Amino acid sequence: MNYLRTLLYFCVCAFGVSVVAFLILSGIVRDQGVAVFYSSVATSGATVAIAILTMVLAIETWRMRNQQQRQIEQEVISSVRPLVVVELAEGRVINDRTIIIKNLGKGIAFNVSFEIEGRGNSFDAERKIVERIHEHGFVKKGIKNLGIGQIIESHIFLFHEIGKEVFEACVDVSVLFEDIYGNKYENKFVFDMAEYENTNRLGGKPDNERNDHLKKIVQILEKEMRNLNKS
């Protein structure tokens, strides 16, 4: 819009020149007919300059209003924008893998669907992983709506179920979803199984700690039962 500003400056200058020229000529020219002629020319020039100036201001006002409207619309969309993420996490046991789907955005996600395919690093292992993921209804058929903060979690596979080549597999996951206004979004994730090779545990309590904890609970319950029987 720089040309509009240039045109605006030109019109202002033209208007000023017309006024100045009229004042100078009206003071110099003594012939009334010639003075009237110069007056008409100056008036015409000023009228054209004012018309162009009005048009430029109208265009600038319209442009600024549209820009402001777009900013408001963008803020409204951002305030209800969903953010769906997919994560491959550790399950209840060390070799268990669980798929977790979360909506971390500010609005409800609609028509959530998934596109999953292997990269070809290990065809057989990637095929098994993709099939295991597709077995779940929320992946195969999609999710109609996913609320704010809502989480879907489900077991996918154990490492030994995939085979020795499991750590060579790499799977691309694309999640597509919409906001309440029908705007479409897409997030992409990578399940690189090499990240889990030679990993003992990512978090949580090991199985032996769980077993020891359960044994203590059983011992306490047995002791309480003996005390009740004695009484």
Q: Calculate mean pLDDT across residues 21-33.
A: 51
Give yes or no for residue 20 having a pLDDT over 90: no
Residues 62 and 153 in one domain: no
pLDDT of residue 120: 84
CA distances from 217 to 12, 59, 205, 223, 224 (A): 90, 79, 16, 10, 11
Residues 107 and 137 in one domain: yes
Residues 24 and 106 in one domain: no
Split into its structural domains, the chain has a count of 2
Kindly state whether residue 172 falls inside one of the protein's structural domains. Answer: yes
Give yes or no for residue 143 having a pLDDT over 60: yes
Residues 200 and 95 in one domain: yes
Residue 153: phi, psi to the nearest 5? -135, 135
Residues 145 and 45 in one domain: no
Domain of residue 104: give its range. Answer: 84-212
Q: In whole angstroms, what is the distance from residue 114 CA to residue 142 CA? A: 7
Domain harbouring 132, CATH code: 2.60.40
Q: In whole angstroms, what is the distance from residue 224 CA to residue 219 CA? A: 9
Residues 198 and 92 in one domain: yes
* Cβ contact 164:122 at 8 Å: no
pTM, two decimal places: 0.60
Secondary structure tally for the chain: helices H, strands E: 6, 7
Residues 74 and 109 in one domain: no
pLDDT of residue 104: 92
Kindly state whether residue 184 falls inside one of the protein's structural domains. Answer: yes
Identify the domain boundary among 79, 101, 117: 79
Helix (H, G, I), strand (E, B) or coil at 53: helix
Kindly state whether residue 227 falls inside one of the protein's structural domains. Answer: no
Residues 108 and 187 in one domain: yes
Kindly state whether residue 123 falls inside one of the protein's structural domains. Answer: yes
pLDDT in tens, 73-119: 888 888 889 999 999 888 777 778 899 999 999 999 999 999 999 98
pLDDT of residue 29: 45
